[in-house]
Amino acid sequence: MNGQSKGEEASCFLKTTQHQISIDAEETACGLWCFKGPILQKFANKKAYVILYGLLGCVFSASFAYFNGTITTLEKRFKIPSRTTGIISIGNDLSQLLMCVILSYYTGRAHRPRWMALGMYTVVLFCFLTALPHFLYGAGADALFLTEEFQVTANTSINVLLNTPKKNLCTNETSKESLCENESGSYSPQLILFAAQFISGIGGSLYYTLGVSYMDDNIKRSKTPALFSFSYFIRMLGPAIGHGLASICLKIYIAPTLTPMIDNTDPRWLGAWWLGWIILAFILLIFASLLALFPKTLPRAAIRKEVKRQASKIGNVTTELEPLPSLKDMIKTFKRLSSNKTLMLNNFAAIFYFLGYMPYWIFLPKYIETQYKQSASISSLITGSAGLIFSAIGILLSGIIISKFKPRARYLAAWNVVVGAISVLGIISYAFLGCSNNESSFFSNGEISTVTECSSNCHCNFVKYNPVCSSDGTTTFVSACHAGCKKVMNINESEIFTECSCVTNDNISVGVDFVVPGSCPVDCLSQFYIFLGVVCMLKFSGATGRAANFLVTVRCVEEKDKSVAMGFGLMLMSLCAFVPSPILFGIIMG
């Protein structure tokens, strides 16, 4: 009877003190310094936070998608090999590996919105640093040479068009090596790009670990899956925006004030890869500043916590005070998380998934360019937009289903296993969806073979990749030199390479011996559409597991460990997946 009366008393207290409870006004005040007031306080609610958090994540993910979409242009401009690009791309994962756990532990109990905003300011710096090499080193000699202004300034337009390409022609001189371009990429731009990636990892770790825990702590548990899915849906627009922005910028010449003599279908075209970073930096700066205005705790959440605390007093339930952040407590927290079997198994499952997914996502634009013969602009656009609708449907549908039916954690984990199996089968199917190459002089039994018998005496080892197509449109050569061409003609402002020994030897029946710049056209649209269909299916299935994976992580740990658990999982994924996978696949791709 005594216990029942205490329960009734506590229940009565909960009903009568909702409007009488006193909370810390400073903790729930929306604004910063002089930017405070009742107008801003109206936005101190879960809906405003979820929308802003999603928009910030949208631009944040757009920045990394933009980097992926401009990788091939960066490699061409600064002559960076793919294996080096893989090392550059893990810079942010290294910083997450070194700092995310410590940051999430010490900032998880502080003013999380302001720490998230500070992290986003580092991403703004990342955007400016990534664009910096263009302003330090310019468009490059290769790009300037292909502009009308360069030809007029040199006052040698005719001579340049007629004589300069001879460096790429066949010659029997042994001194050919000195005439060819043997230019290696400078290490300075690569170091700047790596430093930018390293800095961005700090902001990324704070955004993911603190943002999700803040959402879960300030929203009712029954509404968390739906609102998390909604914020994730907004963030999912980021890759589409990033690749779309990359597509637009790459259609603009790398030096917008100059007039190029080629169009964006030419393999020598370099787009304005640096322009998008300036746009993304200013948008991130605005959204991050708005996020800093949110209170430490949302007012309604603060009321619920105070009511719960007061009710525990009436029920004679002692609440354990949280220890102050310290090295001793941090080590104890890590031991507690390491012994959590559910958390660790969920983390290891994510590690194996991202070990294969991350390099696939990073190099997908380059894969589309090389495998399906698409331009850099189109590859970036397709990578970002394909499957967006299916991803949106998947994340929203899963959030609604989880909120309505409230499935057990066992069922959520089982569905993640199904999603992983579908992803593996889908990615394996890519091996059977490739586009068959046209006859290429540099492909022999699936291996690159740049030297053929007909051009073995042409000294082409140091000629850069500048593909040409035979007159009958069937064979692509690495360059005019590799085709054995000895002369060049300029007809109607178009170059034609003549007296090509490889064309004469391989195509005697044609009766011509010339090649034209550019790769030969290849018809592989049907394979490409099937590839897009598989991508859309994988996007949908993968999106349905996002909300489930998030709930498993935050529900299997104590409330005080949510931020640290997110950081701990991020550290493990950086160590075992994010860091080694781009390097491994970069070496494989060459």
Residue with tokens 């460990």: 561
Sign of CA dihedral 279, 383, 193, 206: positive
Instruction: Give per-residue burial for 494-531: e unless 16+ CB within 10 Å, then b.
Output: ebbbbebbbbbebbeeeeebbbebbbbeeebeebbeeb
On whether the CB atoms of residues 210 and 108 are closer than 8 A, the answer is yes
Q: Would you state the structure tokens that stand for residue 302, as one six-digit string?
A: 């603060």
Selection from 23-32, 41-50, 179-188, 262-271 with the highest mean pLDDT? 41-50
Average pLDDT over residues 469-497: 79
* Beta-bridge mates of residue 491: 494
Lowest mean pLDDT among 132-136, 230-234, 325-329: 325-329
388-429 residue pLDDT tens:
778 878 888 888 888 888 888 778 888 888 888 888 888 888
* Domain range 42-170+181-405+548-589, its CATH number among 3.40.120.10, 2.60.120.10, 3.40.50.2020, 1.20.1250.20: 1.20.1250.20
Q: Is a pLDDT exceeding 90 seen at residue 98?
A: no
Give mean pLDDT, residues 6-25.
50
Residue 14 has pLDDT above 70, yes or no: no
Q: What percent of the chain has pLDDT over 90?
A: 13
Q: Can you tell me the distance from the alpha carbon of 20 to that of 5, in angstroms, rounded to the nearest whole number?
A: 22
Average pLDDT over residues 88-98: 81
Is 291 in contact with 119 (CB distance < 8 Å)?
A: no
Q: For residues 74-87, give the mean pLDDT.
A: 82
pLDDT for residue 192 = 92
User: Picking from 5-19, 72-86, 347-361, which range would have the lowest pLDDT averaged per residue?
Assistant: 5-19
CA 116/CA 208 separation, integer angstroms: 9
Lowest-pLDDT range of 105-114, 140-149, 445-454, 549-558: 445-454
For residues 552-578, give the mean pLDDT. 82
Averaged pLDDT of the chain? 77
Ranking 67-81, 212-226, 343-357, 439-453 by mean pLDDT, the lowest is 439-453
Neighbours of 99 (CB within 10 A): 16
- pTM of the entire structure? 0.69
Phi then psi for residue 496, to 5 deg, are: -135, 125
Tell me how far apart the alpha carbons of residues 273 and 260 are, in angstroms, rounded to a whole number.
16
Neighbouring C-beta atoms of residue 353, cutoff 10 Å: 20
Q: What average pLDDT does the segment 350-363 reach?
A: 76
pLDDT at 568: 86
Residue type, 192: I
**Cα 46 to Cα 301: distance, rounded to the nearest angstrom:** 9
* pLDDT of 243: 81
**476 forms bridges with which residues in the sheet?**
440, 469
Q: What DSSP character marks residue 271?
A: B
In the numeric block, which tokens belong to residue 207? 């955004």
Q: State the pLDDT at residue 33.
A: 77
The pLDDT, as a whole number, for residue 267 is 73
487-491 and 475-477 strand pairing: unpaired
* CA-CA-CA-CA dihedral for 558, 562, 567, 571, to nearest 10: 40
Residue-level pLDDT at 143 = 85
pLDDT of residue 447: 42
pLDDT of residue 161: 40
**pLDDT value at position 128?**
95
Residue with tokens 């579908």, as numbered in its chain: 422
Residue 150: which residues within 8 A CB-CB, separation 6 or more? Answer: 144, 258
138 Rama class: left (phi>0) / alpha (psi -120 to 50) / beta: left
pLDDT by residue (tens digit) across 154-209? Answer: 544 444 444 444 556 777 654 444 343 334 457 888 899 999 999 988 888 888 88
Band the pLDDT of 1: cuts 50, 70, 90. very low
* φ, ψ dihedrals at 494, nearest 5°: -120, 140
- Token pair for 275: 């322009």
pLDDT of 517? 82
- The tens digit of pLDDT for each residue in 245-300 reads 988 999 999 988 888 888 877 777 889 999 999 999 999 999 999 999 999 888 88
Nearest Cα to Cα of residue 122 among 67, 193, 197, 31: 197
Is the pLDDT at 372 greater than 70, yes or no?
yes
User: pLDDT band for position 377 (50/70/90)?
Assistant: low
CB distance 267 to 467 below 8 Å: yes
Average pLDDT over residues 572-589: 75
SS3 496: strand
| CB-based burial, 290-317: b 16+ in 10 Å, e otherwise | bbbbbbbbbbbbbbbeebeeebeeeeee
Residue with the two structure tokens 């990073």: 362
CB 365 within 8 A of CB 82: no
Mean pLDDT of 234-238: 84
Phi and psi at 322, nearest 5°, equal: -75, 135
Between CA 55 and CA 235 the distance in angstroms is: 6
Check residue 276 and give its pLDDT.
Answer: 94
| Closest to 589 (Cα-Cα) out of 378, 363, 431 | 363
Q: Which is more confidently placed, 589 or 369?
A: 369
Structure tokens of 306?
Answer: 């105070």
The pLDDT score that the predictor gives to residue 489 is 81
pLDDT category at 58 given cuts 50, 70, 90 is very high
In the predicted structure, residue 386 carries a pLDDT above the cut 50: yes
CB 75 within 8 A of CB 82: yes
Backbone φ, ψ for residue 477 (5° rounding): -110, 155
Predicted confidence at residue 283, as pLDDT, reads 95
Domains in the chain: boundaries: 42-170+181-405+548-589, 439-517
Report d(CA 352, CA 345) in Å as an integer: 11
Report the pLDDT value the prediction gives residue 238, as an integer from 0 to 100. 86
The H or E element that residue 488 is part of is strand 487-491
**pLDDT value at 11 more than 80:** no
Q: Are strands 468-470 and 515-517 parallel, antiparallel or unpaired?
A: antiparallel
- Based on its alpha-carbon atoms, the radius of gyration of the chain, rounded to whole angstroms, reads 29
